Amino acid sequence: VNINGQSALTDALGNFTSTQQFGTPRISLTGVTILPRSVSAAVNTSRTVNLDAIALGGSFDPVLYRQMVRNAADGTGNEPLRRWTRTPQIYLKTVDEAGEAIHGPMLDLIEATIRSAVPQWTSGALGTPMITRGTGSQLGVPGWITVRFPATNMLLDGFCGRADVGLEGGFIELNYHGPDVNGSTCRTSATVVAARTVRHELGHALGFWHTDNPSDLMARGGWSQSQANMQPSARELLHAAIAYRRPVGNTFPDDDPLTAVNLAPMRAQ
Ligand SMILES: [Zn+2]
């Protein structure tokens, strides 16, 4: 353990003792079996500091974590953590962006999928969301995610949906219109919107980026009909749960911010 440039050794249980000036020293945890960790701790009296670190060598995969949490598959691999700190409320639009009604059974499927997928993606860190239906929106309203349906065929741009990543007041867009394009489709034999697409876009909305493994729900690119009702993989859920035990703004490899941070909005497809 390194505190303000001074080293202290932990015992077998991880306990350590350090003497600091009053202030907010930076505490770094390093070791061959953990992902390097750095946090700040306010010091104004004698106190016990409880810190956790991510164990290496077990089921944790640093490559996957960097893809899901840092946008390594498509972007920099250094994005700060974006996630929700409270269960979002969902505003489910009942009309598309041109005012045409969405099929009722389709709305029922989307609603049921979101209700189960929020606690699932976060391993219970977030609860089952309240879902409100209507023809307006809650865009830009903190605490809300708006689910809407563009009037155009999103597949012409190459995707079945897109979402603001971990953004309060952001949106999820689902493709509801248009024919198949070059043999690819967003539909299933039974539904216009695949449950897979809802869970994938919700994964983005909860703060996760793409992986490069086709057997993951957050895999980028196309999917086959056999994956139309796909669930998050066990490894995705494990790494998502770790992210939901870290504060917003946690950075690579595992550094908590000094204070609360405001992150610029980003969007994924
Ligand atoms: Zn995506």
220-247 tens-digit pLDDT: 988 999 999 999 999 999 999 999 999 9
**Other C-beta atoms lying within 10 Å of the C-beta of residue 187:** 19
Please give the distance, rounded to the nearest whole angstrom, from the Cα atom of residue 157 to the centre of ligand 1. Answer: 13
Output the pLDDT for position 10: 86
Output the pLDDT for position 19: 84
Please give the distance, rounded to the nearest whole angstrom, from the Cα atom of residue 33 to the centre of ligand 1. Answer: 32
Output the pLDDT for position 91: 98
Output the pLDDT for position 22: 86
Output the pLDDT for position 39: 92
Residues of the chain with pLDDT under 70: none
Please give the distance, rounded to the nearest whole angstrom, from the Cα atom of residue 202 to the centre of ligand 1. Answer: 9
Please give the distance, rounded to the nearest whole angstrom, from the Cα atom of residue 161 to the centre of ligand 1. Answer: 7
Please give the distance, rounded to the nearest whole angstrom, from the Cα atom of residue 105 to the centre of ligand 1. Answer: 24
Please give the distance, rounded to the nearest whole angstrom, from the Cα atom of residue 217 to the centre of ligand 1. Answer: 9
pTM: 0.94
Please give the distance, rounded to the nearest whole angstrom, from the Cα atom of residue 203 to the centre of ligand 1. Answer: 8
Please give the distance, rounded to the nearest whole angstrom, from the Cα atom of residue 150 to the centre of ligand 1. Answer: 17
